[in-house]
């Protein structure tokens, strides 16, 4: 039986049988991979931690045929703080949910892995909404769904941080009022995204509302591109 070691983040755990689970892992080396883990639903199970939300560990997988089983794990980071605050918890769940939407078994995902670790670390240390917006923006870009912030994607005109704009879901960018098209957006949303990405911005007075609108837009764009269900992201937006 062959074995491999992967540095991976636990994205999803599903109960299997009486005491086992099926884990979906996102690894630095091979992207997304599914593996069973035995006995972790028992009290005091040695590897119980490896099936907990947001566990980042070195997983040792035994391979038999096309199936993998976790036989050993060494925790790198538990991100425990994310399980003690409901807002941070749902924001972190949204990170895992997005990673699942943007990756496929056997089709990479390594590019999204560092964004996940960076986002979860930032959420532990500070404002989870800023970290979530940046994660969504950057992970979408790494997956081929980048969003342009350099002006109207149709005419190239500089965009206003106030008033109404539009967002082209197919083109992945904002449009000015004259060009139109897409779904209604706002200068406040555009301002929030520019601020998070360190670009010139208008310094909107209601930064909280701008971030909430930015999250709504990023959620709609993610769903448009992947058709994924993003329940945790929707709940986080509701909470804030």
- pLDDT of the residue at 65: 83
- Is residue 44 located within the same domain as residue 111? no
In terms of domains, do 104 and 189 share one? yes
> Residue 205: what pLDDT?
59
Rounded Cα distance, 27 and 202, in Å = 38
Domain count, the chain: 2
For residues 39 and 100, membership in a common domain is answered with: no
For 77-127, the pLDDT digits (tens) are 999 999 999 999 999 999 999 999 999 987 767 889 999 999 999 999 999
For residue 117, the SS3 value is helix
Q: What is the pLDDT of residues 140-164, one digit of tens each?
A: 999 999 999 999 999 999 998 888 9
| Alpha helical stretches, state H, 50-85 | none
> Each residue of 4-40: pLDDT tens digit?
999 999 999 999 999 999 999 999 999 999 999 999 9
Average pLDDT, stretch 48-62? 96
CATH of the domain at 94: 1.20.1440.120
CA distance 8 to 33: 9
Share of the chain above pLDDT 70, in %: 98
Last residue of a domain, one of 27, 53, 78: 78
Range of the domain at 42: 2-78
50 and 141, same domain (yes or no):
no
Residue 112 DSSP code: T
The answer on 126 and 217 residing in a single domain is yes
Averaged pLDDT score across all residues of the chain = 94
pTM: 0.93
Burial class from Cβ neighbours inside 10 Å (0-12, 13-18, 19+) for residue 235 reads: middle
């Amino acid at each position: 039986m062959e074995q491999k070691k992967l540095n991976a983040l636990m994205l999803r755990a599903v109960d299997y049988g009486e005491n086992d689970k099926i884990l979906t892992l996102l690894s630095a080396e091979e992207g997304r991979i599914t593996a069973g883990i035995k006995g972790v639903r028992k009290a005091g199970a040695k590897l119980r931690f490896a099936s907990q939300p947001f566990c980042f560990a070195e997983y040792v997988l035994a391979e038999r045929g096309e199936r993998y089983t976790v036989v050993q794990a060494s925790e790198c980071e538990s991100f425990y703080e994310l399980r003690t605050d409901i807002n941070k918890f749902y924001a972190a769940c949204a990170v895992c949910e997005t990673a699942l939407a943007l990756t496929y078994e056997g089709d990479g995902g390594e590019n999204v892995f560092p964004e996940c670790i960076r986002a979860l670390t930032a959420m532990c240390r500070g404002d989870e909404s800023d970290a979530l917006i940046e994660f969504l923006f950057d992970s979408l870009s790494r997956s081929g769904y980048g969003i342009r912030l350099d002006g109207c994607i149709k005419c190239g005109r500089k965009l206003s941080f106030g008033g109404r704009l539009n967002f082209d879901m197919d083109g992945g960018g904002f449009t000015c009022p004259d060009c139109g098209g897409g779904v209604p957006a706002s200068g406040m949303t555009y301002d929030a995204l520019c601020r998070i990405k360190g670009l010139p911005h208008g310094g909107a007075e209601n930064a909280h509302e701008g971030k909430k609108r930015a999250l709504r837009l990023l959620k709609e764009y993610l769903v448009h591109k992947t058709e994924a269900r993003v329940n945790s992201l929707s709940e986080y937006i509701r909470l804030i």
